A and B are shown apart, each in its own frame.
Chain A
């Protein structure tokens, strides 16, 4: 199924994403931030669909919105946020931070304007129908080693998280 009304959806979704992103970094209440982030992630999943990447979109919804963000919300509810909400929200180095970010933004702008014509005019054709199968072939063929390393990383992360969070082991 070819994407319909691409420009409309692109601008709609990118608007949602940017507003969500801004809300994430400006809200006082971490729960609101987390919810804004979830909206951003879901919009991004839709953008993946527009980019012929349905599997990545599905993984994004399941893992990010359904998994990681629930973890975030859990932790926010466990740590008491009342005190931190009454305190100063931005740290003392916010001016250098903003300057550094602006510089980075300038760099991006420069790269994009200078390198505008290195991208091909039209995207190369891509079959969507067996996207999942193709990704599976890649993951279990070419990227087998990386895949195993990733699983090892997850194992380490699980153990690390348990060790960190458990009161008494």
Chain B
């Protein structure tokens, strides 16, 4: 109980790991590309949470700076991913990821 009430870095890490897992499950099991992309965002956020938690632990700011870079990266990823999605939707009129099989004839 004592350890439950005293929030340490480990708590944040467990939370991050749980989010990461949720993201992984989403990426691996869902068909809808939009939801897959959102799951990727979940994964990136889990990483960010870890970075910031470690930054807090060591009292430095490198983790936070890295979190900002990761957010930048997420923005780029979302933009390109959604662009691809729209191009794909325009051609095949579907948003299901297992129908992206143009290379697998």
Q: Identify the A interface with B (CB < 8 A).
A: 6-7, 10, 14, 17-18, 21-22, 24-25, 27, 30, 33-34, 37, 40-41, 44, 47-48, 51-53, 55-56, 59-60, 63-64, 67-68, 71-72, 75-76, 78-79, 81, 83-84, 87-94, 96-98, 100-101, 104-105, 108, 112, 116, 119-121, 123-126, 131, 134-135, 138-139, 143, 146, 150, 153-154, 156-158, 160-165, 167
Contact = CB atoms under 8 A, between A and B. Distances in A.
A34 B36 CA distance: 11
25 contacts: A18-B18, A21-B23, A25-B22, A25-B29, A30-B32, A44-B45, A53-B67, A55-B64, A56-B64, A59-B68, A64-B45, A64-B74, A72-B37, A72-B38, A75-B82, A76-B34, A93-B28, A94-B28, A97-B28, A98-B28, A119-B9, A124-B59, A138-B61, A153-B76, A165-B82
Contacts of B52: 48, 51, 53, 56
B5 A165 contact: no
A84 B32 contact: yes
Contacts of B87: 164-165
A158 B62 CA distance: 27
A17 B15 contact: yes
A17 B98 contact: no
A112 B8 CA distance: 13
Interface of B: 4-15, 17-26, 28-32, 34-35, 37-39, 41-42, 45, 48-49, 52-53, 55-59, 61-62, 64-65, 67-69, 71-80, 82-87, 89-90, 93-98
Contact of B55 (A25, A53, A63, A143): A53
9 pairs of A and B residues whose beta carbons are closest in the complex: A97-B28, A164-B83, A124-B59, A157-B76, A25-B26, A161-B83, A21-B22, A94-B29, A161-B79
Nearest to A153: B76
B71 A59 contact: yes
Contacts of B65: 135, 138-139, 143
Contacts of A121: 8
A119 B57 contact: yes
